[in-house]
Amino acid sequence: MLYYKPPMNIDFIILAAGKGTRMGGDSPKVLANLAGKPMIQHLINTIDSFPKSRTSIIVGHKAKDVEAGILSSKKINFIHQKKQLGTAHAVKQALPFLKKNSISLILYGDVPLVQKTTLKKLINSAAKGNLSLLTFIKDDPTGYGRIIRGSKNSVQKITEHKDATNQEKQIKEVNSGIMAVKSDLLQKLLPAVKNQNAAKEYYLTDLVEIANISSIKVGATICDAYEVGGANNRQELHDLERALQKKNASTLLAKGVTVADTARLDIRGDTKIGQGSFVDINNVFEGNNVIGRNVTIGPNCLIANSTIKDNTTVYANTVIEDCMVGKDCKLGPFTRIRGGTELSEGAELGNFVEANRSNIGKGSKGKHLTYLGDATLGQKVNIGAGTITCNYDGKNKHKTIIEDGTFIGSNSSLVAPLHLGEGSYTGAGSVITKDVPKGKLAVGRGKQVNLPKKK
């Protein structure tokens, strides 16, 4: 287990001022959607879990949109960078807000997947020395700054690809841009960064050379390349999405969930799935979901902001939105439930059944071609095929209450407001407009007339 004991406070500095022109459109790049959240939100969720930490975010393009698009359990200090003059210039905006005796951790809003354990290692490395870089191994390092190691494995410099010698180009350890440094040292070194380059920008990577000139040891922590994947355009955002979704699926596998195909599962938000459950192909989970143990989810389902309890089966092409599904239930195929609908233990809704704002009692069933809107079903109610609750009169929604043991005949129309008593019945093809007493049979249909066939 990683030893981690923060020796001092932590100041997180997130660079998020860029426009992201290559993304297309005019929205700030860091707000691009990644697995159901703004890209930067993944990073915020990670750093929020650090105690004794403070977060500053450097904003620029559409700063108010960025501020409004971020949710945090802590107060965030938003700092506006009027001109984007390079990474070192961006970090310089945060210097007046750093705590004394802290470690500054510099992150990027478009590099959102760095893990907490990795950040702990980087913080520890900076605490032992003074400055530490986060690096990774790239099989094809073309275009990346190479990490040049010196004596005792310290970092001497970062050489950009265009400036690297043939020997340096063989190095596969490259710079992620993320670094941790003692804040008092950052205050000292950052003003020494100059903009003597073609772009006339102040580069944070120059700190490595400045530190070495000052005989300050520079360390490096190597991480998995997955953690430092960034997104500057739509293709890179797509690749980042697929990498994150594969990681999510692999996490489920490690927790005892069977996933039919890790490449055909999307988790867009936060979803927990219990051991022994099975998730078939092409499923999408949105928002916050809690799925119990030994749940089977068939192919092509959408589940959003819902709870599904143990031993339930969800058949193919089912949509569950904002609902609570009890134990041992069966849903689908082609079922849609929504609007806070609740299914009690052992309830079943089948082919082409929709339930909205309804409560389905224990052991109750509606298996075919049914709409239940604003309905409350007791226990062991049977809803025949083709039944609908007529809950809307053009202005208001009305409730239908069906008590325990009631049997609704096929193709019944239940015109709300309506109350069907315990153990009552409706005849097939009936239009029921009046309450039905306990145990009574209600028939509401035109009288059959058999006419002779015309010659």
Q: Which of 42, 80, 238, 368 is catalytic?
A: 368
C-alpha–C-alpha distance, residues 199 and 181, integer Å: 25
Rg (CA), the chain: 30
**What DSSP designation does 112 have?**
-
**C-beta separation of 18 from 81 below 8 A:** no
Sign of CA dihedral 397, 400, 401, 404: negative
Amino acid at 84: Q
Coil/strand/helix, residue 126: helix
| Closest to 106 (Cα-Cα) out of 244, 173, 4, 203 | 203
C-alpha–C-alpha distance, residues 102 and 91, integer Å: 15
Q: What is the DSSP string of 236-257?
A: HHHHHHHHHHHHHHHHHHHTT-
Residues whose CB falls within 8 Å of the CB of residue 2, separated by 6 or more in sequence, listed in order: 117, 120, 121
User: 28: cis peptide before it, omega within 30°?
Assistant: no
| Closest to 338 (Cα-Cα) out of 360, 315, 361, 355 | 355
User: What number of other Cβ atoms are within 10 A of residue 254's Cβ?
Assistant: 8
Per DSSP, what are the bridge partners of residue 114? none
| Closest to 132 (Cα-Cα) out of 178, 179, 177 | 179
Coil/strand/helix, residue 5: coil
- Is 368 assigned a catalytic role? yes
- Residues with a known catalytic role: 368
